[in-house]
Structure 1
Amino acid sequence: MSTRRAFLKLSLGAAAAALPALSTPRAFGANAARTLRIGNQKGALSLLKGRGTLEQRLASLGVKVTWTEFNAGPVQLEALNVGSIDFGDVGEAPPIFAQAAGAPLAYVAATPPRPQSEAVLVPHNSPLREVADLKGKRVAFNRGSNVQYFLVQLLRKHGLDYRDVNPVFLAPPDARAAFEHGSIDAWVIWDPFFAAAQASFGARVLADASDVAVNRGFYFSSRNYARDNPDVIRVLIDEVAKTDEWGKNNRAAYAAELAKLWGLPAPVVERAVDRTAFGTVPITKTILGEQQKIADTFLDLGLVPKRVDVLQAAVPGLA
């Protein structure tokens, strides 16, 4: 899409308990009518929705839950920016662009690093064998995505500059077609597109993000919602953690549910799930520092118009 196993040994309650920095709810009685509007992509939050456990737990707090499905993280964050949702899940890059646009987001939880879930792929018969071989080659990726950051860092690690390759900006479906027809030399992509390319074309991994990029997922809210509803956020993150723990211990069943959501063959999703690091971790300054490095790289590339201070998206009282 590491040292992630240590956190998984903690109780699920520890993940949610990492949010006490949020103040107690303001201006709400124990059973005051409230709403939690979740924006979800087809993934872990969709599995949580199907279980109904979140609604059951929040009912005792007088909280009604609504769900809206989105096809991408940037659209979710735009919905947050205009006040249409209170919570969602997203990758590393979209929150940076959202902050640059003035969105009032707050990071409330994250996944462990998932560097093996994103990679530079080449055709199985490609003469490219090392990262240095990418010099002068056509490399496709989604512009402004976390894999663009991964590519920049990978090239630097191997003594190359971003200007040493010929970027081809393509969304995953278009990049897949270009890869299949040989009109690009390499494709930088994440799961499940990564796993699908391996299964369909025998794509070969030139390098994954291990020791190069972190590749986390994030859960976000708005600053006001996180400040005023810490009890709701704690329950929500606890339920996310429980769903994730179930997936870790039941990978085949987890993959089967995702395969239905994504409309992909089960073996493809199983491959992606096998290299997924499960877990739900609290936001720390170290994690936000990782995001700051991405934000600064995007500024250097001219992808954002001004420097983004990621710490401004911390929840109140972050240690």
Structure 2
Amino acid sequence: MDIAAGGETGVLFAMANRSEIKVLAATRESRLGGSAILVRKGSPIRDLAQLKGKTIALPYYTHQHYQLAVALKRAGLSWHDVKVVNLDTAAGSAALNGKHADAFVVWDPNTAIAQTQQHARVLKPLKPVIDPPGMLYAPSAALDDPSKKAALRDLTRRVIRANAWVNKHPEEWAKSISRLSGIPLAAARLQVSRSRSMYEPVDKPTVAAWQKEVDYFKDLGQIPSAPVVKDSVQWDFAPVVEKAAAASDAGQGGR
């Protein structure tokens, strides 16, 4: 694997476990998104305080892992006031529907599928709680190779252009998601309607947000030590990202 994009939490956990990773760009969601705490249709749970003593299904080491931890704290609950079960998205959905979990923490398209197919209810959207940017990242070894680094620069530009196309063609993108992922078109349309992500250069405030997150998990005792995030940023990609993002916004190619 030479490049990937996704939530920052898993990457931060990997850094804490000494994986050699470099962050090329940040990704930011400008709309509400589908990150949420879900409960079953008809559930009596109406606020986060009512989760005390309840079982929550959560895929660990995800963006939502951090969002849930902060949401619980703001509701006056600790991580130990609830029973958090580490389940992947399919198992978490089954646990919620089968009444083996009282809540399910997840993201789109899984949230949209649960809402449109199982009529799950959003107890709490998580973007307003806390929402550090995601990451476009690569193994350090790939960036140590001059030819691969040049290819990664080019691919970063292409990723940003493709993302700009997605933002400008929501219906076509929803149909593509439905076709390629095999999910109902209604769920894909719901996902697209509340998402508009953007790539941007990594800057000091973004690094500070990531550092705050990894320090938080260290304080929770979920990682042994907190890495220095700024040391894992490929700072010379910032001009590449900035130029490509500006060109894409202007409808140009961005070389």
Range class of TM-score, shorter chain: 0.7 to 0.9
Per residue, is there more helix in 1 or in 2?
2
Q: Does 1:218 align with 2:144?
A: no
**3-state secondary structure, aligned to 1:297:** helix
Q: Which of 162, 167, 191 is residue 84 of structure 2 equivalent to?
A: 167
Q: Which of 206, 214, 220 is residue 301 of structure 1 equivalent to?
A: 220
Q: Does 1:247 align with 2:129?
A: no
Superposed displacement of residue 247, structure 1 = 0.9
Superposed CA offset, 1:96-130 (max 9, x none)? 12212322211111221365321000112111111
AA aligned to 1:200 is Q
Q: Look up the match of 2:196.
A: 277
Q: Does 1:287 align with 2:202?
A: no
Q: Does 1:146 align with 2:63?
A: yes
AA aligned to 1:111 is T
Superposed CA offset, 1:163-187 (max 9, x none)? 2212122111111111111121111
Native 8 Å contact 1:247 1:278 kept in 2: no
Q: Does 1:108 align with 2:24?
A: yes
**2-structure distance, mates of 1:215, 1:182:** 31
Superposed displacement of residue 190, structure 1 = 0.8
Aligned length: 235
Superposed CA offset, 1:3-47 (max 9, x none)? xxxxxxxxxxxxxxxxxxxxxxxxxxxxxxxxxxxxxxxxxxxxx
Q: Which of 102, 106, 111 is residue 185 of structure 1 equivalent to?
A: 102
AA aligned to 1:210 is K
> Cα gap change, 1:131/1:210 in structure 2, threshold over 3 Å: closer, same or farther?
same
Q: Which of 18, 43, 46 is residue 126 of structure 1 equivalent to?
A: 43
Q: Look up the match of 1:206.
A: 123
> Cα gap change, 1:215/1:126 in structure 2, threshold over 3 Å: closer, same or farther?
farther
Q: Which stretch of structure 1 is more off in the superposition, 141-150 or 225-234? A: 225-234
Q: Look up the match of 2:249.
A: none
**3-state secondary structure, aligned to 2:105:** strand
- Which has the larger Rg? 1
Unaligned runs of 5+ in 2: 239-255
Q: Look up the match of 1:90.
A: 6
AA aligned to 1:95 is V
Superposed displacement of residue 303, structure 1 = 2.4
Q: CA RMSD in A?
A: 2.0
**2-structure distance, mates of 1:248, 1:203:** 27
Superposed CA offset, 1:220-257 (max 9, x none)? 12335446465433332221121111111110111111
**2-structure distance, mates of 1:316, 1:139:** 38
Per the normalisation by structure 1, the TM-score is 0.68
> Cα gap change, 1:253/1:237 in structure 2, threshold over 3 Å: closer, same or farther?
same
**1-structure distance, mates of 2:221, 2:180:** 35
**2-structure distance, mates of 1:139, 1:299:** 21
Superposed displacement of residue 297, structure 1 = 2.2
